[in-house]
């Protein structure tokens, strides 16, 4: 896992909705930034994607910005082709950019392991949380409430320490080339 206090690796990737290239600087929030690795086909992402929209909606007005990145190999996993990602973003109503990491260099820089995988950076672009959204997975009957990420976001907004007890994400492995 990426070490806490690591400065956010920069990137420049195309947004699947607008086609515009975006960097970390373009997507960073005044108080913090959530970088999430997701995709269109993973059952774990599908299980939580509506909560991703709710979490973003609850924190964007508080100075935290969000960005989703898909790093899956679209040649071998055509459901994660940028056209399908655009459809996902529009259907679910993503209020944040959805970028495509074709060469997978950004996933490697962030040490992303799976989809979904979450990274929260503070106002100084330093990593303060990495791990899961909450304990919910398809079929485990846990509520999809964003509890873990929300807890870190609330602490960040309130200027309180973020717990170092952080649980790794669970999901589908990133589909490497």
In the chain the domains, ranked by start, together with CATH numbers, are 12-173 (3.40.30.10)
Q: What is the mean pLDDT of the chain?
A: 97
| pLDDT of 14 strictly over 90 | yes
Question: What pLDDT is attached to residue 30?
Answer: 97
pLDDT in tens, 51-92: 999 999 999 999 999 999 999 999 999 999 999 999 999 999
pLDDT in tens, 105-142: 999 999 999 999 999 999 999 999 999 999 999 999 99
Q: How far apart are CA 30 and CA 173, in angstroms?
A: 31
Q: Region 27-56: what's the mean pLDDT?
A: 98
Q: How far apart are CA 129 and CA 5, in angstroms?
A: 9
**pTM: predicted TM-score of the whole model, two decimal places:** 0.97
Q: Region 156-167: what's the mean pLDDT?
A: 94
Q: How far apart are CA 114 and CA 42, in angstroms?
A: 10
Q: Using 50, 70 and 90 to split pLDDT, how confident is the model at 164?
A: confident
Kindly report the CA angle at 128 between 21 and 156, in degrees rounded to 5?
A: 95
Asked whether 91 and 144 are in contact (CB, 8 A), the reply is no
Helices and strands of the chain, counted as H and E runs: 5, 9
Tell me how far apart the terminal alpha carbons of the chain are, to the nearest angstrom: 20
Tokens representing 13? 């990737």
């Amino acid at each position: 896992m990426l070490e806490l206090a690591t400065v956010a690796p920069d990137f420049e990737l195309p947004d699947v909705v607008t086609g515009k290239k975006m960097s970390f600087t373009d997507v960073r929030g005044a108080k913090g930034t959530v970088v999430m690795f997701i995709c269109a086909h993973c059952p774990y992402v599908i299980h939580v994607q509506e909560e991703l929209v709710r979490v973003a909606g609850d924190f964007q007005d508080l100075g935290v910005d969000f960005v989703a990145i898909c790093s899956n190999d679209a040649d071998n996993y055509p459901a994660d082709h940028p056209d399908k990602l655009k459809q996902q973003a529009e259907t679910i109503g993503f209020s944040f950019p959805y970028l495509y990491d074709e060469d997978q260099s950004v996933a490697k820089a962030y040490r992303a392991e799976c989809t979904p995988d979450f990274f929260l950076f503070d106002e100084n672009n330093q990593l303060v949380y990495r791990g899961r959204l909450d304990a919910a997975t398809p079929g485990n009957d846990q509520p999809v409430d964003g509890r873990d990420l929300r807890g870190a976001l609330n602490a960040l907004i309130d200027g309180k320490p973020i717990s170092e007890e952080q649980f790794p994400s669970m999901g589908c492995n990133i589909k490497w080339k």
